[in-house]
Amino acid sequence: MLIFRKPIENIERPQMPADVVIVGGGPAGMACALRLAQLIDAHKAAHPDSELSKENVYVLEKAREIGQHCLSGALLDPRSMRELLPGFEKQAPLDADVTKEAVYFLTEKSKFKIPTPPFLRDHGNYVISLNRFVKWLGSKVEEAGITVFTGFAGCELLYDGDRVSGVQTDDKGVDKEGQQKSNFEPGYDLKAKVVILAEGPRGSLTKQLTEKFDLAKNANPQTYGVGVKELWEVPPGRIAKGEVIYTMGWPLTTKEYGGAWIYGSSNNVVSLGFVTGLDYPDPRLDPQHVLQDFKRHPFVEKLLEGGKMIRYGAKSMPYGGWWALPALAGNGWMMIGDTAGFLNAARLKGIHLAIKSGMLAAETAFDALLKNDWSAATLDAFQKKVESSWVKEELWKVRNLHQGFEHGLFAGIFHTGLQMITGGRGLRNRYSAVAGYERMRKLAELPADGGAEKNLLGRAKGDGKLTFDKLTDLYHSGTKHEEDQPAHLVIHDTNICNVRCVKEFGSPCQNFCPANVYEMVDDSSQPNGKRISLNPSNCVHCKTCDIQDPYQIITWVPPEGGGGPNYDGM
Amino acid sequence: MKILVCMKQVPQKDAPLKLNESGTWIREDVSYEVNEPDAYALEEALRQREKHKGEVVVITSGPARAQQVLREALAKGADRAIHLEDEKFVGLDAFNTAKAIAAAIKDEPFDLIFTGLQSDDYGYAQTGVILAELLGWPHATIIMQIEKTDAGIRVKRELEAGYFQFVDMPLPAVLTIQSGINKLRYATLIGIKQAKNKPLRKVTLAEVGGAIGNNLQKIERLYVPQKTKKTEYIEGPAGEVAKKLVDKLRNELRVL
């Protein structure tokens, strides 16, 4: 019997008052906190008797340390950082200037260089480790006098009528059965004037809020990809520092959306990863397997030969773009960064937009502090700030990009070309979209051997040198959780897993999860002889299950704070 | 009771370790955490204070980043902290570390000093014992339980093969604490916030430098062990396999 995580009921919770609570200490949350600190400092310098204070501005971060759950390619477009901290290049951990870029179309054995489209010209950007970058940005936030609570997740929103009035943090010391242990520590009710959600893609509080107030009713459904990444150390001379390579095509077929990145970093470290669009048709497809197959391409194999894989991780990313943005602010809340969907899918970049959206939200929160008005009337200004900033300008040009690929690669290339010469419009101003999980087909509708996709399906075996099975990769994520706690992958109806899904889709959770959390185990008491079992401690917090499960019965909630991957250098 | 807890920041257990250029230690670009037995030592000190009143002071020696372990200790309830902060304190051997700690606390009358049993990185298990010797105090190692008595304390030591030893000791004393002696508490939001305003005394190298000499122990070379195990399959009919196996055991490995 699976016991799922939920807040302990009927207990007295400690309360703590706050002005601003930012949920999530990634690039968006940290930029927001830092910008707010700057504005408050400047105001106090000009008005020494002002009562404004940074004392009650808090950042909640579920990782044990700042930056530990941050994973990206990553290339940083410095535009927003230059606005936030002019001259940041002198002190931030930047691994390399982009010196060279190339885009290839791969077939199984060959590669064809294609002209680099304007949106993938990356000169002027930096190769960074997002983990190290956020660690540094977080230290700036702490130096500015803002308290970052690491090891604490926001797990419930508090409401006062139709107003968000705070966040409840995670209960600590709850055992597998959901009972309090001797060191039980109840989650706090952090009563806030405004809660800024910066949870990253598919945030769990964002999901609650979006459903409660139907915030996405005017938006396209958000679409996602999952990036599976490995960090390698390779012999010198394989790739230049600052060299950037993108590939399309193999091992994916024309039916899946996605592609790979390869970035040359410092110290002969190579960041490589494969983003698989979470709208593929075959439930047997396994994104971790896709990355392993990609590495077997002669071009990649030659690059990695004799090297060593040093880190592994996975993270989802929102592709939906401008039309998929939900309402961004309301009574007592705003949302920024990936959790809202600020990502440019054409450029495969979101960090600079996360930072900019965080800054704009900070400016809005600052105005609200001055007015002491936290209602939608004041906070809605955030929406307008976004619309009149370069964030919209950038996203508007690519507003229809991902939707253009919904009918496959060739249609996608056609639409992209058309959109490029029509300022992002293409055939019409707004392309619609469907949620990716709806595109998953039942086994009965697919060829038994997998057809053109057969090499991508099921588990990667791995040779232990170039390619790895999932558990070997997972070990390199450094993920760790308190073992004795309820499962944080909340399955609302396990009967669907055991009775329907196993037959209809063949339990795709086992495939799409890059961390081996989901397992169908033998159980003769079940109609199909299989029962869902969970290994929650393996979870790398990528949220793919919440996004991609075809019945939408999985809700990812934060496990006990402090648990999760350790993305050192990722 | 006034208790000092010696804590150390060590590389995280699952951190991917890379050797430094000179092959004498690891590269520093890893995540760090509190040395595990030190966390239990702190918890034990907090519990003793809850029972017998008094004060819990935490001390660490290390670079600026090591302040994190003190902040965590203060957040969990320690009253104040001492940081021997200088790059020169990094890489001291146990003897010099103990001398630096002894010099830093020479004006403070502690009843008990706790250290973790050993550090997760060097694993010397010496600093606590040497510190006791330098102070002229009694010590006991691998502590599983501590009870206050009229004359001092009674401690339970873990021996091998499931045996324990009970020892009565006078105070002051140094105890090195075994992991698992208690159940660790969690830091709370209010604890973390209050920790910001708790006293943290920084001790410079100049203040204790006189006590420190050359390291008596040093790491000559650190290397990743090479896999040397080989598996050989002997194939054929059972009788022949047995014969070949006996031959190998007798003549190649000489174990028969």
pLDDT in tens, A250-294: 999 888 899 999 999 998 999 999 999 999 999 999 999 999 999
Domains of chain B: total: 1
Per-residue H/E/C for B11-52:
ECCCCCCCECCCCCCECCCCCEEECHHHHHHHHHHHHHHHHH
Residues in B closer than 8 angstroms to A190, CB to CB, are 189
Position B76 in a domain: yes
pLDDT bracket for residue B143 (50, 70, 90):
very high
| Cα-Cα-Cα-Cα dihedral sign, residues A87, A90, A92, A94 | positive
Residues in B closer than 8 angstroms to A310, CB to CB, are 16
Nearest-CB residue to A68 (from B29, B31, B192): B31
> What is the pLDDT at residue A443?
93
Distance CA A40, CA A52 (A): 7
CA distance to A13, A329, A551, per residue, from A20 (Å): 20, 14, 36
- Put residue A115 in one of left, alpha, beta given phi > 0 → left and psi -120 to 50 → alpha: beta
* DSSP secondary structure of A308-352: EEEEEEEEEEE---GGG----EETTEEE-GGGTT--BTTTTB-HH
Share of chain A above pLDDT 90, in %: 86
Q: Is the pLDDT of residue A40 over 90?
A: yes
> What is the pLDDT at residue A251?
92
Position B223 in a domain: no
Does the beta-carbon distance from A478 to B16 stay under 8 Å?
Answer: yes
Query: Which of A247-261, A431-445, B163-177 has the highest mean predicted lDDT (pLDDT)?
Result: B163-177
Q: What is the pLDDT of residues B102-133, one digit of tens each?
A: 999 999 999 999 999 999 999 999 999 999 99
Residues in A closer than 8 angstroms to B14, CB to CB, are 478, 480, 566
Q: What is the ipTM of this complex?
A: 0.88
Q: Is the pLDDT of residue A318 over 90?
A: yes
Nearest-CB residue to A183 (from B12, B185, B190): B185
Q: Is the pLDDT of residue A321 over 80?
A: yes
Per-residue H/E/C for chain B:
CEEEEECCEEECCCCCCCECCCCCCECCCCCEEECHHHHHHHHHHHHHHHHHCCEEEEEEEECHHHHHHHHHHHHHCCCEEEEEECHHHCCCCHHHHHHHHHHHCCCCCCCEEEEECCCCCCCCCCHHHHHHHHHCCCEEEEEEEEEECCCCEEEEEECCCCCEEEEEECCCEEEEECCCCCCCCCCCHHHHHHHCCCCEEEECHHHHHHHCCCCCCCCCCCCCCCCCCCCCCCCCCHHHHHHHHHHHHHHHCCCC
Interface subset of A 453-482, CB within 8 angstroms of B: 476, 478, 480
Work out the mean pLDDT of chain A and round it to a whole number.
94
φ/ψ (deg, to 5) at A393: -50, -45
| Token pair listed for A152 | 């604490």
φ/ψ (deg, to 5) at A177: -85, 0
Distance CA B221, CA A255 (A): 54
B14 to chain A nearest CA, in Å? 6
Q: Is the pLDDT of residue A384 over 80?
A: yes
Number of A/B CB contacts below 8 angstroms equals 51
Position B82 in a domain: yes
Comparing B29 with A332, the larger pLDDT belongs to: A332
For residues A402-407, average pLDDT: 79
Does the beta-carbon distance from A68 to B16 stay under 8 Å?
Answer: no
For residues A454-475, average pLDDT: 90
Among all residues of chain B, which has the CA nearest to that of A190? B189
pLDDT bracket for residue B153 (50, 70, 90):
very high
Position B80 in a domain: yes
For residues A145-174, average pLDDT: 97
Q: What is the pLDDT of residues A56-81, one digit of tens each?
A: 999 999 999 999 999 999 999 999 99
Collapse the DSSP code of A508 into the 3-class scheme (helix H, G, I; strand E, B; otherwise coil) and give the result. coil
Peptide bond into A251 cis (omega under 30): yes
> What is the pLDDT at residue A65?
92
For residues A379-384, average pLDDT: 97
Does the beta-carbon distance from B188 to A310 stay under 8 Å?
Answer: no
| Cα-Cα-Cα-Cα dihedral sign, residues B192, B197, B198, B204 | positive
Q: What is the pLDDT of residues A76-110, one digit of tens each?
A: 999 999 999 999 999 999 999 999 999 999 999 99
pLDDT bracket for residue A141 (50, 70, 90):
very high
B109 to chain A nearest CA, in Å? 31
Burial of A487 (0-12, 13-18, 19+ CB in 10 A): buried
For residues A388-395, average pLDDT: 96
> What is the pLDDT at residue A254?
85
Interface subset of A 280-339, CB within 8 angstroms of B: 310-311
> What is the pLDDT at residue A407?
75
Position B63 in a domain: yes
Sequence-distant contacts of A6-12: CB under 8 A, at least 24 apart = A6/A178, A6/A486, A6/A490, A6/A557, A7/A155, A7/A156, A7/A168, A7/A171, A7/A187, A8/A171, A8/A174, A8/A178, A8/A180, A8/A184, A8/A186, A11/A186, A12/A186
CA distance to A382, B17, B87, B97, B107, per residue, from B90 (Å): 48, 18, 5, 9, 24
Residues in B closer than 8 angstroms to A173, CB to CB, are 186
List residues of chain B with CB under 8 Å from any CB of chain A. 12, 14-16, 29-31, 33, 183-190, 192-193, 196
Distance CA A483, CA A191 (A): 30
- Contact (CB, 8 A) for A481 and A564: yes
Q: Is the pLDDT of residue A236 over 90?
A: yes
Residues in A closer than 8 angstroms to B12, CB to CB, are 478, 566
> What is the pLDDT at residue A432?
81
> What is the pLDDT at residue A455?
77
Residues in A closer than 8 angstroms to B182, CB to CB, are none
Share of chain B above pLDDT 70, in %: 100
> What is the pLDDT at residue A482?
95
Distance CA B46, CA B156 (A): 18
> What is the pLDDT at residue A301?
96
Nearest-CB residue to B184 (from A68, A152, A183): A183
> What is the pLDDT at residue B179?
96
Give Cβ neighbours of residue A533 (< 8 Å, ≥ 6 apart).
A2, A518, A519, A520, A521
Position B183 in a domain: yes
> What is the pLDDT at residue A414?
78
Among all residues of chain A, which has the CA nearest to that of B188? A185
Domain housing B107: 2-211
Q: What is the pLDDT of residues A466-492, one digit of tens each?
A: 999 999 999 999 999 999 999 999 999
Residues in A closer than 8 angstroms to B29, CB to CB, are 132, 568-569
Peptide bond into B172 cis (omega under 30): yes
Q: Is the pLDDT of residue A418 over 90?
A: no
pTM for this entry: 0.93
Closest by CA to B110, choosing from B23, B174, B15, B44, is: B174
> What is the pLDDT at residue A421?
76
B65 to chain A nearest CA, in Å? 11
- Contact (CB, 8 A) for A357 and A255: no
Residues in A closer than 8 angstroms to B185, CB to CB, are 183, 185
For residues A150-156, average pLDDT: 97
CA distance to A146, A193, A195, B57, B72, per residue, from A55 (Å): 7, 14, 16, 26, 19
| Cα-Cα-Cα-Cα dihedral sign, residues A382, A383, A389, A395 | positive
Name the CA radius of gyration of chain A, rounded: 23
Closest by CA to B152, choosing from B166, B138, B171, B180, is: B171
> What is the pLDDT at residue A459?
84
Distance CA A244, CA A271 (A): 10
> What is the pLDDT at residue A231?
96
At B157, which CATH number? Answer: 3.40.50.620
Chain B touched by A102 (CB under 8 Å) = no
A64 to chain B nearest CA, in Å? 9
Q: What is the pLDDT of residues A525-555, one digit of tens each?
A: 999 999 999 999 999 999 999 999 999 999 9
Residues in A closer than 8 angstroms to B188, CB to CB, are 14, 185, 188
Position B12 in a domain: yes
Amino acid making up residue A538: N
Residues in A closer than 8 angstroms to B193, CB to CB, are 16, 147
Sequence-distant contacts of B68-74: CB under 8 A, at least 24 apart = B68/B9, B68/B32, B69/B7, B69/B8, B69/B9, B69/B34, B69/B35, B69/B38, B70/B7, B70/B200, B71/B192, B71/B195, B72/B34, B72/B187, B73/B5, B73/B7, B73/B34, B73/B42, B74/B191, B74/B194, B74/B195, B74/B198, B74/B200
For residues A447-461, average pLDDT: 83
Q: Is the pLDDT of residue A406 over 90?
A: no
For residues B223-251, average pLDDT: 89
pLDDT bracket for residue A162 (50, 70, 90):
very high
Position B229 in a domain: no
Which of A147, A311, A479 is best to mutate for the B interface (most B CBs within 10 A)? A147
Distance linking the first and last C-alpha atoms of chain B: 61
What letter does residue A497 receive in the DSSP assignment? I
> What is the pLDDT at residue B228?
80
Which of B71, B189, B190, B192 is best to mutate for the A interface (most A CBs within 10 A)? B189
Q: What is the pLDDT of residues A192-201, one digit of tens each?
A: 999 999 999 9
B242 to chain A nearest CA, in Å? 32
Per mean pLDDT, which range of A211-225, A333-347, A375-389, B197-211 is the poorest? B197-211
